[in-house]
Structure 1
Amino acid sequence: MKTTLDELQAFAAVVDTGSITAASELLGLTISATSRTLGRLEEKLQTTLLRRTTRRLELTEEGTAFLQHARAILASVDEAEEQMAARRMRPAGRLRVDAATPFMLHVLVPLLEGFRARYPEVELELNSNEGIVDLIEKRTDVALRIGPLKDSTLHARPIGTSRLRILASPAYLKRHGAPAEPGELREHALLGFNQPETLNDWPLRDADGNTVHIRPTIASSSGETLRHMALAGLGIVCLSDFMTREDRDSGRLVQVLAGHTLDTPQSINAVYYRNTALAARITCFVDHVVEALGQRPFGI
Structure 2
Amino acid sequence: MKTTLDELQAFATVIDSGSISAAAEHLGQTASGVSRALSRLEDKLDVTLLQRTTRRLELTEEGRVFLAQARRILTSVAEAEEQMALRRQRPAGRLRVNAASPFMLHVIVPLVAGFRALYPEIELELHSSDQIIDLIEQRTDVAIRIGTLRDSTLHARPLCSSRLRVLASPDYLQRHGVPTTVEALGGHSLLGFTQPDSLNQWPLRHALGERWSINPSLSASSGETLRQLALAGEGLSCLADFMTLADQQQGRLVQVLEAQTVEVVQPIHAVYYRNTALAARITCFLDYVSERLRPERH
Do both proteins adopt the same fold according to a TM-score greater than 0.5, normalized to the shorter chain? yes
- Determine if contact 1:163/1:297 at 8 Å carries over to the other structure: no
- Determine if contact 1:205/1:260 at 8 Å carries over to the other structure: yes
* Inter-partner Cα distance in structure 1 for 2:245 and 2:86: 40
Q: 2:150 aligns to what? A: 150
The C-alpha deviation readout for 1:26-48, integer Å capped at 9, x for no partner, is: x9599xxxxxxxxxxxxxxxxxx
Q: CA deviation at 1:259?
A: 0.5
Q: 2:198 aligns to what? A: 198
TM superposition outliers: structure 1 runs of 4+ over 3 Å: 27-30, 85-88, 274-278
Q: 2:184 aligns to what? A: 184
SS state at 2:259 partner? helix
* Inter-partner Cα distance in structure 1 for 2:223 and 2:237: 10
Q: 2:59 aligns to what? A: none
Query: Structure 1 residues 121 and 87, CA, compared in 2 at 3 Å: closer, same or farther?
Result: farther
SS state at 2:204 partner? strand
Length, aligned pairs only: 219
Q: 2:79 aligns to what? A: none
- Determine if contact 2:206/2:260 at 8 Å carries over to the other structure: no
SS state at 2:105 partner? helix
- Determine if contact 2:86/2:280 at 8 Å carries over to the other structure: no
Q: 1:112 aligns to what? A: 112
Percent of residue pairs bearing the same amino acid type: 64
Q: What are the equivalent positions in structure 2 for 1:13-162 lying under 5 Å apart?
A: 28=28, 89-162=89-162
- TM-score (norm: length of structure 1): 0.69
Q: CA deviation at 1:205?
A: 2.1
* Inter-partner Cα distance in structure 2 for 1:252 and 1:197: 27
Query: Structure 1 residues 163 and 87, CA, compared in 2 at 3 Å: closer, same or farther?
Result: closer
SS state at 1:163 partner? strand
* Inter-partner Cα distance in structure 2 for 1:88 and 1:153: 29
* Inter-partner Cα distance in structure 1 for 2:88 and 2:135: 23
Q: 1:284 aligns to what? A: 284
Tell me which moved more, 201-210 or 213-222. 201-210
* Inter-partner Cα distance in structure 2 for 1:86 and 1:283: 9
SS state at 2:132 partner? coil
- TM-score (norm: length of structure 2): 0.70
- Determine if contact 1:106/1:242 at 8 Å carries over to the other structure: yes
* Inter-partner Cα distance in structure 2 for 1:29 and 1:264: 57
Question: 1:116 is aligned with what amino acid?
Answer: R
- Determine if contact 2:103/2:242 at 8 Å carries over to the other structure: yes
Q: CA deviation at 1:291?
A: 1.1
Q: Unaligned regions of 5+ residues in structure 1, if any?
A: 1-24, 31-84
- The CA RMSD measured in Å over matched residues stands at 2.1
Q: CA deviation at 1:151?
A: 3.5
Query: Structure 1 residues 264 and 248, CA, compared in 2 at 3 Å: closer, same or farther?
Result: same
Query: Structure 1 residues 277 and 172, CA, compared in 2 at 3 Å: closer, same or farther?
Result: same
The C-alpha deviation readout for 1:207-232, integer Å capped at 9, x for no partner, is: 21241111110000010000010011
Q: CA deviation at 1:297?
A: 4.0
Question: 1:118 is aligned with what amino acid?
Answer: L
The C-alpha deviation readout for 1:106-148, integer Å capped at 9, x for no partner, is: 0000111110011000000000000100001101000111100
Max Rg structure: 1
The C-alpha deviation readout for 1:81-123, integer Å capped at 9, x for no partner, is: xxxx788611000000000000000000011111001100000
* Inter-partner Cα distance in structure 1 for 2:277 and 2:88: 11
- Determine if contact 1:97/1:142 at 8 Å carries over to the other structure: yes
The C-alpha deviation readout for 1:135-179, integer Å capped at 9, x for no partner, is: 011010001111000042011111111000100001110111011
- Determine if contact 1:154/1:271 at 8 Å carries over to the other structure: yes
- Determine if contact 1:153/1:274 at 8 Å carries over to the other structure: no
Q: 2:273 aligns to what? A: 273
